[in-house]
Structure 1
Amino acid sequence: MVCSSYLRTVILQAGNIQKVTPGLARFASFQTSLKTAFVSSDRIFSSVRRMMVDTSAGAGRGLTTNTSSEKDDDGGFASGGWKSDDGKLSCGYTSFRGKRASMEDFYDVKTCKINGQTVCLFGIFDGHGGSRAAEYLKENLFKNLMNHPEFMTNTKLAISETYQQTDSEFLELGKDMFRDDGSTASTAVLVGNHLYVANVGDSRTVISKAGKAIPLSDDHKPNRSDERKRIENAGGVVMWAGTWRVGGVLAMSRAFGNRMLKQFVVAEPEIQEQELDEEFELLVLASDGLWDVVPNEDAVSLALLEEEPESAARKLVETAFSRGSADNITCIVVRFYHVKATEPETKTEPEKATEMETETEPETTTETTTKAEPETIAEPATKTEPETATEPETKIEPETSTEPETKTEPETSTEPETKTEPETSNQTRSQN
């Protein structure tokens, strides 16, 4: 009895297993399809997100992204270039992970037209404590700026408010996350010929004017006297920990993010304005991975040696790495072209000079003719003194100075009668 009941139990369990097996197979296939759906949806959403960054920014103002939003798989290297439609400027960019284990630098280049005026935006974002803040700035900072209602009427105010607004939005987005990453931002906004350079942190922007390097931003370091005073007045402390740091933690005094130090580390930008003219040659924006080992003057001189800005950006990054930079290195070079406006002027000056020379040449010829005429007129004036008359003749033809008659023969075509008159007068005098 026990054996038979046991056998029935085994048979029933086996039957149940046979019933469950198809269900497990269907569940496994469902999981596979679900994973495939998630992967495909991630790809779709990522592509849509990139499209939104590239085209929807600026609220229909035609803002376009001129750089690739994707880096290499290992975050190691990215490079490219772009030229404006009007030919007034071109830019090149290079980003290199360098000796760091991860890539926390981001960059952005955008252009648009507003009321027929070209607007160009360039940005370097150097993350610390992670790449999330720098990537957020790349995707949102210029978009928020173009959406500011006073962007064209009061660009400086729009930049200042947009920086702080974007910082608040980033902190609000990550309020439930236990992260405290941050980022610098060094941006250049060109509206027509008017340049606005805004900076938060220790990235830097330098412009070349007639071959001279002029910094358009001042690094926000905790040991800067005004920054140290501001931090201490807010209740913070600046101390040495390998370098000067806010609270012994952060090596810069202004940044996006950094929630724990936000009372002292603000995102209010310092903005410099510059009206561009023909003396300005190029603009260099870079993260501190470049500026730690390459001075401003070296950066400008090296960039000027290259004709193409993309080659210049690559050259600067390679130079920083060869000089021992241990950080991520990202650089944007913007070159301004004024040749088309100046070439006609430079060409007209030598043309005018040649025209003046050609005009003066006939004047000198007329002067020589007028000088020759009084010489011919002076000959009859010296009729009373034959010796003086022979002197100019000896200068012209010294061999025939003794025979005045032979001299008159080639000159008979011009004044044959006037030269025979003095001969008759000499004969009459000799007869007398």
Structure 2
Amino acid sequence: MVCSGCIRNVIVQAGHIGQSAVRSVRLRAIYRSLNANIGLRYTWNRQFRGSVKMMVDTAKGEPIINVLPEKEDDGGYASGGWKSEDGKLSCGYSSFRGKRASMEDFYDVKMSKIDGQTVCLFGIFDGHGGSRAAEFLKEHLFENLMKHPEFMTNTKLAISETYQQTDMNFLDAERDTYRDDGSTASTAVLVGNHLYVANVGDSRAVISKAGKAIPLSEDHKPNRSDERKRIENAGGVVMWAGTWRVGGVLAMSRAFGNRMLKQYVVAEPEIQDQEVDEELELLVLASDGLWDVVPNEDAIALARTEEEPEAGARKLTETAFTRGSADNITCIVVRFHHEKVDPDPPNMEQA
């Protein structure tokens, strides 16, 4: 039996992670400035390098806050988290290259105010055949979505159209290359008290509702009866090559990119709308490096044992690694707090 603390040390050492004290001070200063300007509270994990971007949507004049650090250059190990100022929402993430030689997972969390309403966006992007498609999604998908003219009035339509348009944008950007990268996308968009979960590929979203694990996405596998029928109706073939694959090549039936299979492997998302009520406790988004070895019920049970979602995300990553996951492992845990919490209680000695 190996303790989680030991595993964490192994993970950190394997990632060759570090940062200078000067940079840490500068980054904390940026976080304090953002907190003062937009009313958000951030927590900073010293185990990773990063920066914070503030982008302005010129159409609406609203700031889009990228609250997570830039991706590790070496793809080793990173974790972190933040809380909303009102204490109603907290988030943690953990990302580990694992046993793979390269890192193809990307993750993103953004916040903005649109028409006076706070919007939160969470995403996991798992690349295959390279990292370019997943990185493109991190850089463009949520920005494109928030610029959609019907994002606030018809969010499902906006998500569907933005997914497919961003796929076309990526294929256009890569048209002169000899690569054929692809990527999954599992995203959650919180608008008011509505949570919209969209999925393309085999990354997955699972919620905890009254303690019960409920999947909000279904993996896009070629042997899924409806997916197989769609592919064959388009003139494609699903065949066994170690696992079920489209054309004997790709082990998922929907993805961004994958130009050579685009006629059959679409980027049209399946979307579920969930009302955020008092029974909704947690949301877990993760790449298949987690789900290959951790069932839905285990993931929720493990995440629920930790009060802080960052600790929950780290526990999930470590568990997947110790259970033998051979893939990159990335997850985001979002916790919903239904009673207003003061994230910074007053110092009684100074009162």
Match of 2:195 in 1: 195
Query: Could you tell me which amino acid in structure 2 is paired with residue 98 of structure 1?
Result: G
Q: Distance in 1 between matches of 2:185 and 2:120?
A: 16
Query: Could you tell me which amino acid in structure 2 is paired with residue 323 of structure 1?
Result: R
- Following superposition, the deviation at residue 62 of structure 1 comes to 1.5
Q: For residues 142-161 of structure 1, what are the structure 2 equivalents within 5 Å?
A: 142-161=142-161
Q: Distance in 2 between matches of 1:173 and 1:69?
A: 22
Q: Is the 8 A contact 2:122 2:188 kept in 1?
A: yes
Match of 2:6 in 1: none
Over the residues paired in the alignment, what is the CA RMSD in angstroms? 1.5
Match of 2:339 in 1: 339
Q: Is the 8 A contact 1:89 1:337 kept in 2?
A: yes
Q: Tell me, what secondary structure is at the counterpart of 1:267?
A: coil
- Following superposition, the deviation at residue 51 of structure 1 comes to 9.0
Query: Could you tell me which amino acid in structure 1 is paired with residue 63 of structure 2?
Result: G
- Following superposition, the deviation at residue 55 of structure 1 comes to 1.1
Q: Tell me, what secondary structure is at the counterpart of 1:87?
A: coil
Q: Distance in 2 between matches of 1:309 and 1:121?
A: 16
Q: Is the 8 A contact 1:282 1:335 kept in 2?
A: yes
Match of 1:65 in 2: 66
Q: Is the 8 A contact 1:58 1:143 kept in 2?
A: no
* Percent of pairs with identical residues: 81
Structure with higher helix content? 1
CA 1:116–1:56 in 2, change beyond 3 Å: closer, same or farther? Answer: closer
Q: Tell me, what secondary structure is at the counterpart of 2:78?
A: strand
Q: Tell me, what secondary structure is at the counterpart of 1:266?
A: coil
Q: Is the 8 A contact 1:67 1:108 kept in 2?
A: yes
> Which consecutive residues of structure 2, in runs of 5 or more, have no partner in the other structure?
1-49, 342-351
Q: Tell me, what secondary structure is at the counterpart of 1:299?
A: helix
Q: Distance in 1 between matches of 2:53 and 2:248?
A: 37
Q: Distance in 2 between matches of 1:149 and 1:52?
A: 26
Match of 1:78 in 2: 78
| 1:88 aligned onto 2:88 | yes
Q: Which moved more, 1:62-71 or 1:281-290?
A: 62-71
Q: Tell me, what secondary structure is at the counterpart of 1:333?
A: strand
Query: Could you tell me which amino acid in structure 2 is paired with residue 182 of structure 1?
Result: G
- Following superposition, the deviation at residue 53 of structure 1 comes to 6.2
Aligned residues: 291
Q: Distance in 2 between matches of 1:340 and 1:142?
A: 28
Q: Distance in 2 between matches of 1:54 and 1:137?
A: 18
| 1:222 aligned onto 2:231 | no
TM-score normalised by the chain length of structure 2: 0.81
Q: Distance in 2 between matches of 1:96 and 1:204?
A: 17
- Following superposition, the deviation at residue 58 of structure 1 comes to 7.1
Q: Is the 8 A contact 1:77 1:94 kept in 2?
A: yes
Match of 2:128 in 1: 128
Q: Distance in 2 between matches of 1:183 and 1:238?
A: 19
Query: Could you tell me which amino acid in structure 1 is paired with residue 279 of structure 2?
Result: E
Structure with higher strand content? 2
Q: Tell me, what secondary structure is at the counterpart of 1:218?
A: coil
- Following superposition, the deviation at residue 317 of structure 1 comes to 0.3
- Following superposition, the deviation at residue 339 of structure 1 comes to 2.7
TM-score normalised by the chain length of structure 1: 0.66
CA 1:51–1:294 in 2, change beyond 3 Å: closer, same or farther? Answer: closer
| 1:233 aligned onto 2:204 | no
Larger relative CO (CA 8 A, sep 6+): 1 or 2? Answer: 2
CA 1:92–1:124 in 2, change beyond 3 Å: closer, same or farther? Answer: same
Larger Rg: 1
- Following superposition, the deviation at residue 253 of structure 1 comes to 0.2
Q: Is the 8 A contact 1:97 1:103 kept in 2?
A: yes
Q: Is the 8 A contact 1:207 1:283 kept in 2?
A: yes
Per-residue displacement from partner, 1:66-104 (whole Å, max 9, x unpaired)? 101131x42111111011122110000000000000000
Query: Could you tell me which amino acid in structure 1 is paired with residue 66 of structure 2?
Result: T
> Which consecutive residues of structure 1, in runs of 5 or more, have no partner in the other structure?
1-49, 342-432
Q: Tell me, what secondary structure is at the counterpart of 1:339?
A: coil
